[in-house]
């Protein structure tokens, strides 16, 4: 479990700062949603998560735990219990080409200077992938030591395993890495690193909104084009949401499923909720169970 948490931390970091344009204007505010109708014999649930939080802010609301208890299976973005996925996750932070070999001398000096703000330097990071650099953003944005960090999905997973529930993933590590590489090449990651302080401010506001289940405010916070342009949003959110929405019906057909995905994937015209509604499902916010 220790290695699982370590690996989970690394991968979840890459998703923490994903952003989305606010498009829903109604008052549907909840981090937990029930999916029913369209031939389902029992409801399934979707929980929007805040991947990483400090222990002092961390809480899984009782209704979320009850929904997990009522469900047959836990479905996360990635199946952290699959050994093959764990192996792929370890490899994603390694690279065959040094970072310095991909940059000009001027860019190399600039990156080394930027990394100093993250408590490291290019010499230590040179054999790392751009994903490893990207993870530094979230590590710095979290306002507490790593020993005090709580990972929402990992806590859900621990409870699911105790109950001997089956665990599945909506995509493979390779799929996620393909999306990240397409959205953020090395130079784009370096630009993101320059905005470290802005991410700290954003994460603090995001956690406040998440704790209040104010998903509309959450998305309003994430409209800043400096964090994610339209093409990056399409790659990281829209395309993945559509792929997931195609897989979810089969996962809900015979058994009830509890889906845990980053909150940025829920709302908007191309969010999971709207995509499932367009398929004929009734998807409604849950206030209590």
How is 50-93 classified by DSSP, letter by letter?
-SEEETTT----HHHHHHHHH-SEEEESS-TT-HHHHHHHHHTT
Dihedral angle computed from the Cα positions of residues 37, 38, 43 and 48, in that order, rounded to the nearest 10 degrees: -100
Does 111 map to a domain? Answer: no
Looking at per-residue confidence, does 84 or 9 come out higher? Answer: 84
Stretch 203-207: mean pLDDT, rounded? 87
Each residue of 90-119: pLDDT tens digit? Answer: 888 777 789 999 999 999 999 999 999 999
pTM equals 0.87
Strands of the chain, DSSP E: 32-36, 44-49, 52-54, 73-76, 149-151, 166-169, 257-262, 282-285
Stretch 117-124: mean pLDDT, rounded? 92
Looking at per-residue confidence, does 161 or 97 come out higher? Answer: 161
pLDDT at 199 over 70: yes
Does 121 map to a domain? Answer: no
Q: Which of 6-15, 53-62, 139-148, 180-189 has the highest mean pLDDT?
A: 53-62
Does 223 map to a domain? Answer: yes
Each residue of 167-179: pLDDT tens digit? Answer: 999 999 999 888 8
- How far, in Å, CA of 231 to CA of 185, rounded? 13
Does 226 map to a domain? Answer: yes
Does 115 map to a domain? Answer: no
Query: Could you tell me how far CA 221 lies from the centroid of its own chain?
Result: 16
Does 118 map to a domain? Answer: no
pLDDT at site 172: 94
- How far, in Å, CA of 247 to CA of 252, rounded? 9
Residues in CB range of 68: below 8 A, 6 or more apart:
45, 47, 74, 156, 159, 160, 165, 258
Does 100 map to a domain? Answer: no
- How far, in Å, CA of 201 to CA of 148, rounded? 19
What is the arrangement of strands in the sheet containing 44-49, beginning at the earlier edge strand?
A: 166-169, 73-76, 257-262, 44-49, 32-36, 282-285
Cβ(128)–Cβ(46) under 8 Å? no
Does 110 map to a domain? Answer: no
- How far, in Å, CA of 127 to CA of 276, rounded? 42
Give 255's Cβ-side CA count (13 Å radius): 15
pLDDT at site 200: 85
Each residue of 51-80: pLDDT tens digit? Answer: 888 999 999 999 999 999 999 999 999 999
Please report which confidence band the pLDDT of residue 274 belongs to, taking 50, 70 and 90 as the band edges. very high
Print the domain residue range for 243: 2-94+129-285
Count of structural domains, the chain? 1
């Amino acid at each position: 479990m220790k290695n699982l948490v370590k690996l989970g931390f690394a991968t979840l970091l890459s998703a923490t700062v994903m952003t989305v344009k606010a498009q829903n204007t109604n008052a549907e505010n909840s981090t937990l949603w029930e999916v029913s109708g369209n031939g389902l014999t029992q409801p399934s649930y979707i929980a929007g998560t805040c991947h990483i939080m400090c222990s002092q802010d961390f809480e899984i609301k009782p209704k979320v735990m009850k929904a997990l208890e009522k469900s047959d299976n836990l479905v996360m973005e990635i199946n952290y219990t699959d050994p093959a996925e764990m192996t792929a996750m370890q490899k994603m932070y390694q690279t065959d080409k040094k970072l310095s070999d991909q940059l000009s001398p001027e860019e190399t000096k600039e990156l080394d200077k930027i990394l100093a703000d993250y408590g490291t330097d290019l010499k230590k990071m040179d054999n790392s992938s751009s994903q490893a650099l990207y993870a530094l953003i979230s590590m710095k944005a979290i306002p507490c030591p790593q020993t005090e960090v709580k990972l929402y999905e990992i806590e859900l997973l621990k409870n699911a395993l105790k109950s001997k529930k089956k665990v599945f993933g909506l995509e493979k590590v390779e799929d996620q890495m393909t999306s990240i590489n397409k959205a953020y090449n090395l130079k784009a990651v370096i630009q993101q690193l320059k905005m470290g302080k802005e991410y700290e401010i954003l994460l603090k506001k995001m956690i406040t909104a998440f704790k209040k289940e104010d998903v509309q405010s959450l998305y309003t916070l994430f409209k800043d084009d400096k964090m994610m342009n339209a093409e990056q949003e399409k790659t990281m959110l829209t395309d993945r949401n559509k792929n997931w929405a195609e897989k979810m019906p089969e996962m809900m057909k015979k058994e009830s499923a509890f889906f845990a995905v980053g909150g940025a994937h829920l709302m908007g015209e191309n969010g999971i909720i709207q995509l499932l509604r367009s398929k004929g499902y009734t998807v409604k916010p849950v206030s209590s169970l």
